[in-house]
Structure 1
Amino acid sequence: MTTWNLQGMQRHLLICNGSTCMGAGAEEVTLAIRDEITKNNLDEMIHTSRTRCNGRCKDKCVVISYPEGKWYSVQDEQVGRDIVTGQVEDQHMIYNMTQNGLAQATPTFTKGISKTKVLKRKEKSSATKKAILFVGHGSRVEAGNDEVREFIERTTYLIDPAILVETCFLEFASPNIEDGIELCVEKGAEEIHVIPIMLLHAGHSKMHIPAEIEHAREQFPGITFTYGQTIGIHAGIFEILLERLKEIGFDPYEKHEHTAILLVGRGGSDEEANGDFYKISRLLWEKLDVPWVESAFMGVATPTVDEGIERCVKFGAKKIIMLPYFLFTGILMKRMYKMRDNYEVTYPNVDIQIANYFGYHPKLQHVLVERAEQAMNGSSTGMQDLENFRKYAEEHGYEHHHHHH
Structure 2
Amino acid sequence: MTATASAELLKSLPGGGVLLIGHGTRDAGGHQEFLLLGRRLAAALSPMPVEISLLELQPPTIPEAWEKLVAAGVRQVIAAPLLLFAAGHAKSDIPAELARCAATTPGVDWLQTRPLSRCPELIDLVADRWEQGIARAASDPAQTAVVVLGRGSHDPCAQADLRVLAATVAHRRPVRKVAVAYYAMANPKLTEVLTAVTADPKIRDVIVQPHLLFQGAIHQAVREQVAAAADRDRQHRYHVADYLGPDQAVVAGLIRRIRQAAAGGSHAAHPQVSRNT
TM range (shorter): 0.7 to 0.9
Alpha-carbon distance in 2 for matches of 1:377, 1:234: 16
1:273 partner amino acid = A
Aligned mates of 1:247, 1:257 — CA distance in 2: 16
Could you tell me which residue of structure 1 aligns to residue 5 of structure 2? none
Kept in 1: contact 2:90–2:270 (CA 8 A): no
1:191 to 71, 76, 84: 76
User: Pairwise mapping of residues 224-239 of structure 1 onto structure 2 (< 5 A)?
Assistant: 224-239=109-124
Higher relative contact order (CA 8 A, sep 6+): 2
Give the whole-Å Cα distance in 1 for the aligned partners of 2:271 and 2:246: 30
> Does 2:56 correspond to 1:171?
yes
- CA shift for structure 1 position 323: 0.4
The one of 252, 257, 270 equivalent to 1:371 is 257
Gaps of 5+ in 1: 1-126, 389-405
Given the superposition, is the C-alpha separation of residues 219 and 324 from structure 1 closer, same or farther in structure 2, using an over 3 Å criterion?
A: same
- Judge conservation of contact 1:255–1:289 (CA < 8 Å) in 2: no
Aligned to 1:336: 222
The TM-score with structure 1 as length reference comes to: 0.60
Q: 2:261 and 2:119 mapped to 1: Cα distance? A: 16
Structure 2: gaps spanning 5 or more residues:
1-12, 273-277
SS in 1 for 2:179: strand
For 2:35, the equivalent position in structure 1 comes to: 149
Structure number, greater radius of gyration: 1
> Could you tell me which amino acid in structure 2 is paired with residue 237 of structure 1?
L
TM-fit CA distance, 1:157: 2.9
Alignment of 1:371-390 (within 5 A): 371-378=257-264, 383-385=267-269
Q: Map residues 39-188 of structure 1 onto 2, 5 A cutoff.
A: 128-161=14-47, 163-188=48-73
- Quote the offset at 1:374 in angstroms: 1.5
- Please state which structure has a larger fraction of its residues in helix: 2
Counterpart in 1 of 2:10?
none
Q: 1:193 touches 1:227 (CA, 8 Å); kept in 2?
A: yes
Q: Contact 2:131–2:173 (CA<8 Å) still a contact in 1?
A: no
Amino acid in structure 2 at the alignment position of 1:385? A
Instruction: Give the Å deviation of 1:263.
Output: 0.3
2:269 partner letter? D
SS at match of 2:100: helix
Checking the alignment, whether the CA contact within 8 Å between 1:210 and 1:385 is kept in structure 2 is yes
Relative to structure 1, the CA distance from residue 384 to residue 249 in structure 2 (aligned partners, 3 Å threshold; closer, same or farther) is closer
Larger mean Cα displacement after TM superposition, 317-326 or 178-187 = 178-187
- CA drift at 1:247: 2.9
Could you tell me how far apart the structure 1 residues matched to 2:72 and 2:206 are? 50
Give the CA RMSD over aligned residues.
Answer: 2.0
Give the Å deviation of 1:364.
1.3
Q: Is the 8 Å Cα contact of residues 111 and 268 (structure 2) preserved in structure 1? A: no
Q: How far apart are the structure 1 equivalents of 2:209 and 2:261? A: 31
Tell me by how many angstroms 1:160 deviates.
4.0
Q: Which amino acid aligns with 1:259?
A: T
Change (3 A) 1:278 1:386: closer
TM-score normalised by L of structure 2 = 0.87
SS at match of 2:239: strand
Change in 2 beyond 3 A, CA 1:227/1:323: same
The Cα of 1:245 is off from its aligned counterpart by 2.7
Matching of residues 164-313 of structure 1 within 5 Å: 164-250=49-135, 256-313=141-198
Shift of 1:149: 1.4
The Cα of 1:249 is off from its aligned counterpart by 4.6
Q: Residue type of the partner of 2:24? A: G
Do 2:17 and 2:74's aligned partners in 1 also have CA atoms closer than 8 Å? yes
Decide whether the 8 Å contact of 1:284 with 1:293 is kept in 2.
no
Q: Secondary structure at the match of 2:147?
A: strand
